[in-house]
Amino acid sequence: MKNFIEEIKGGQNTPEGELNELIGYRNDAAHGALIDDFLGFNALLELCDFVESICQALADLITYKVIKQKEIIGEAKKIGKITEWFQKPQAGVAKITDISLSINSNLFLVNENIAYCQSAMIQSIKIEDESVNEAKVTDEMEIGLKFDVDAKLGLDLYMLL
């Protein structure tokens, strides 16, 4: 939602304002109001982008709630945190504890402050600048991880058990 407001709307509105605008258009169309001014192509695309942003935010929230519930019942656990992030290669360094990781395994990138959760597949693993296909970590150590999605500094890493 934040990206939509900043990138598409240039910070000119709020999510609530966008939703109210969408509801207003819907109500006018559904209740037979005389509509003499039609939305243009770009305005319709912006509304579609907004609906997509709402759906993605809801999906992130639901995934977050599922991961947290699975953690409570022992089916998921926090395995580490991203301590460095490099935007260009979509890779970073994470402090990892007590888990086995392999290329093509899935993790969840979580920010508990905003109930954000996104699935990420590991594309490569580096330990002390050497590429490996898998890593068995017992004590806390720093591992280089490249994902198939963009992440950021400070995200917690969760794995389903």
Q: Do 28 and 80 belong together in one domain?
A: no
What does each of the 161 residues of the chain score in pLDDT, given as a tens digit? 566 666 655 666 777 888 888 888 788 777 766 666 667 788 788 888 888 888 888 888 899 999 999 999 999 999 999 999 988 888 999 999 989 999 999 999 999 888 788 999 999 999 988 999 999 988 899 999 999 998 889 999 999 99
- Tokens (6 digits) for 111: 């920010």
Cα 108 to chain centroid distance, Å, stands at: 9
Same domain, 62 and 92: no
pTM, full prediction: 0.75
Range of the domain at 105: 76-160
Check residue 98 and give left, alpha or beta (phi > 0: left; psi -120 to 50: alpha): left
DSSP annotation of 125 reads E
Domain count for the chain: 2
Residue with tokens 């999605």: 149
81 and 155 belong to one structural domain:
yes
pLDDT of residue 49: 85
Single residue among 22, 51, 70 that ends a domain in this structure: 70
Whether 87 and 145 share a structural domain: yes
- Nearest to residue 26, comparing CAs of 61, 56, 51? 51
Tokens representing residue 31 in the block = 């209740």
Q: Report the CATH number that the domain containing residue 119 is assigned in CATH.
A: 2.40.30.10
Say whether both 85 and 37 belong to one domain.
no
What integer pLDDT is reported at residue 33 of this predicted model?
A: 64
Residue appearing with tokens 């000119």: 12
φ/ψ (deg, to 5) at 148: -85, 0
One domain, residues 64 and 80: no
Instruction: Show the beta-strand stretches assigned E in the chain.
Output: 76-86, 91-96, 99-102, 106-111, 116-127, 130-132, 134-137, 141-147, 156-160
